[in-house]
Amino acid sequence: MRPGPFMMRRMQFAGRVILAPLTKGGNLPYRRVCVAHGAEVTMSEMAYSYQVVRRSKSELALLRKHADEPCFGVQIAASKAPDAVAAGLAAVERGAAFVDLNCGCPIHDVVRRGMGATLLQRPNHLARLVGEMVKGLPVPVTVKLRLGWSEDDINASEVARLCEEAGAAAITLHARTREQRYTRAADWDWIARLVSERKIPVIGNGDILTWYEAHELWQRSGCASIMVGRGALMKPWIFREIAERQSIEPTAEERVGIYWQFVRWLKDHFREDDKGRERTMRFLPWHLGFFCRYRPLPESQWGAASKLHPLMQTRMADEPDLPLLEQVLRDAREELHLRLADELWAATDAADAVARCLRVGEEMPPVSGEAGEVAVAHG
C-alpha cells in the first residue's frame, strides 16, 4: 500500500523518487512537466531565507506550489534560526509539506553568506539551526548534505548524527564534497554507510540517469528513497521509467511535443505578453541545453557499462545518419537553442512546433555533439 501525503511519519520518506531542488531548473512550469511524467515528490528551487523574510517577490515566488503537485517540499538556505523558521512558515502557508535545509550548495554567493556548504564546517551551529526549525515548524524538516567541504575534511557522519539528534525527519546525501562539485562520481558507498549509521531515513542523490542505475544504487545502498536532479533535466520522463522499470524512448517528434507543452505551462506561469516572453526566455534556452543531452540508453546496451562508471559522466558519440529533427534536438549550440526557443514560443500546436524545429535545422545545419557531464543543481 502506497503511503499518503507527507505528514510527520518518517515512513513517508521511504520508497520515494524525489525531484531534487534545482537552481533555475526547478521552476514551477518544469515541475509540472515532471509531474506529468510521473514525479510524485517535487521540490522548489533553493530560496534564501533572509530574502523571504524581507518579502522579496522573486524569492517568495520560489515557494509557490502548483495544484498539480501531489507532494511539494521547499528548500531554503539559512544561517540564522529566526530567518529559517520564518521562511519555513512562509513555505508551509503556500503548501509545502516539508522544509529542507540546504547544507551542500557550493557556489560562492551562498558560501560567503555562511549558508549552504559552509554549514558543514560548523556542525554544532547547524544542529542548533535544525533544532530551532524542528521546534518552530509544523511539518517535517529535512537536511541535504554533501560529504564534507573537501576530500580532506569529510564529516558527513558527524553532521548527519547531529541533524538526527536535533530532530531532522530525513537526511539527503549528495555523495560528493563541496570542492568536487560535479567533477567526481558520486560515492554511493558513503550513502550506504550513512544508512547503516542512522535511524532516520537517508535519501541518496547523485548520478542517476537511467532506471536501471536508479534501482541498482537504491538496492546497493539500502537508502530509503532516491533523489534525481540532472537526469530529470535531460529527460523528465525518468520518473516513469523508474516506476515502470523500463526505458522510455520518445521519438524526436514526441520530445518536441513535450517541450511545446512545457512552453504552454511557461506561458501559463509568466503570461503570454512581452514581459512573460522575456521571463520565459531566461529559462527555455537553458533547458534546451539539457534536453539536447538526452540519448536513449537501453539496459541491453548500457547496463554493463553503467556498473563501471556512471552514465551521467560517460561521453558517448552519436551514431551517423540521424534524421534531421533528431540532429537538431541533439545540437548543443546555444545560438540554436535561442532559435528553437523562439519557434517553440510561436508554435500553435505540437505539429507546428515540429515543423518549425525542422526549419531551424534546415537554416542552421546541425552539428553533432556529445553527451557529457554537466553541473547544475544546488546542494
105 is catalytic: yes
Q: How many CB atoms lie within 10 A of CB 242?
A: 23
**Residue given cell 526566455 in the structure block:** 281
* Cα gap 257→277, rounded to integer Å: 19
What are the Cα distances from residue 250, in Å, to 237, 238, 243?
9, 11, 17
Tell me whether residue 256 is exposed, middle or buried, using C-beta atoms within 10 angstroms of its C-beta: 0 to 12, 13 to 18, 19 or more: buried
Residues whose CB falls within 8 Å of the CB of residue 32, separated by 6 or more in sequence, listed in order:
66, 68, 69, 265
In the Cβ-directed half-sphere of 58, how many Cα atoms lie within 13 Å?
4
Q: Which one of the listed residues 71, 105, 292, 357 is annotated catalytic?
A: 105
Helix (H) or strand (E) holding 163: helix 156-165
Q: Is 363 exposed, middle or buried, given 0-12, 13-18 or 19+ CB atoms closer than 10 A?
A: exposed
- Computed on alpha carbons and rounded to an integer, the radius of gyration of the chain in Å comes to 20
- The span from the CA of 21 to the CA of 159, in Å, is 20
Phi, psi values for residue 242, rounded to 5°: -65, -40
Residue positions annotated with a catalytic role: 105
